[in-house]
Amino acid sequence: MIKKLAGILGVLVLSGLLINSMLMTFYLKKIDSGLNENLHSVRALGQLQKSIIDKNGELTGMIGTIGQIDGGLDAAIDRTSRLLVLLTQVVNLNADTLQINNAMEQSSLQSGATITSVNQSLKTVGPYTAQMKGYLESLKKTAASDAQKMNDIRQSAERMNQKLPGGP
């Protein structure tokens, strides 16, 4: 039963770790995607800045480009905020995983103590079991001997009955 409990506990631990890993992979993929988008935005901003430098004489073009840069920065800030939310979720999941791991450690320690106690009890019962086996073997021999004696008595009674006049 303890092996079964330990097996179930092991399966639960592995399932929890698998789920945690899957969730972390999912959130890390979202973070990677957001970072790639930010990289593209930064490259776009770099290209816009290059065009501003190239077209320094065109003030109206610069104002439009600055507006685009501002929009790109707003988008980058928005993505960064979403990344911060995702990172917070990852940190919270890691904290939850730590709590689960600590609980599993406590459970394992308790199971170990219980197994040790059961093992000690079995060691204590062992000599008594051997002694009881000896008593049972002795009782078996006595019962066999008594059965043989009863059989001898029955045979003697039958022989006596045959010797009596009028007997079977």
Q: How far apart (Å, rounded) are the C-alpha atoms in residues 3 and 39?
A: 52
pLDDT tens for 31-81 read 888 888 888 888 888 888 777 777 666 666 657 777 777 787 788 788 888
Residue 148 banded pLDDT, cuts 50, 70, 90 = very high
Count the Cβ atoms, other than its own, within 10 Å of residue 34. 17
Task: Tell me, yes or no, whether 75 lies in a domain.
Answer: yes
- 119-129 mean pLDDT: 81
In a domain, 94, yes or no: yes
Residue 18 forms part of a structural domain: yes
Q: How many domains does the structure of the chain reveal?
A: 1
| Rounded distance between C-alpha atoms, residue 68 and residue 85, angstroms | 26
pLDDT of 59 reads: 60
Tell me if 120 is assigned to some domain: yes
Question: What integer is the mean pLDDT of 143-154?
Answer: 89
For residue 113, tell me if it sits in a domain: yes
How far apart are alpha carbons 41 and 68 in whole angstroms? 11
Range of the domain at 51: 2-125
pTM, two decimals, is 0.36
Residue 72 CB contacts under 8 Å (≥ 6 apart), including other chains: 41, 44, 45, 48
Residue bearing tokens 């029955």: 154
pLDDT average, residue stretch 141-147? 88
Task: Answer yes or no: is 47 within a domain.
Answer: yes
- pLDDT for 95 equals 85
Report the run of H or E that residue 69 belongs to, with start and end.
helix 59-163
Q: Is residue 165 part of a domain?
A: no
Amino acid 62: pLDDT? 59
SS3 17: helix
Residues 20 and 149: their CA atoms lie apart, in Å, by 75
pLDDT at 168 exceeding the cut of 70: no
Return contacts of 56-61, CB within 8 angstroms, 24+ apart. Answer: none
Confidence band (pLDDT; 50, 70, 90) for 167? low
HSE-up of residue 79 (Cα within 13 Å, Cβ side):
19
Check if the beta carbon of residue 161 is closer than 8 Å to that of residue 168. yes
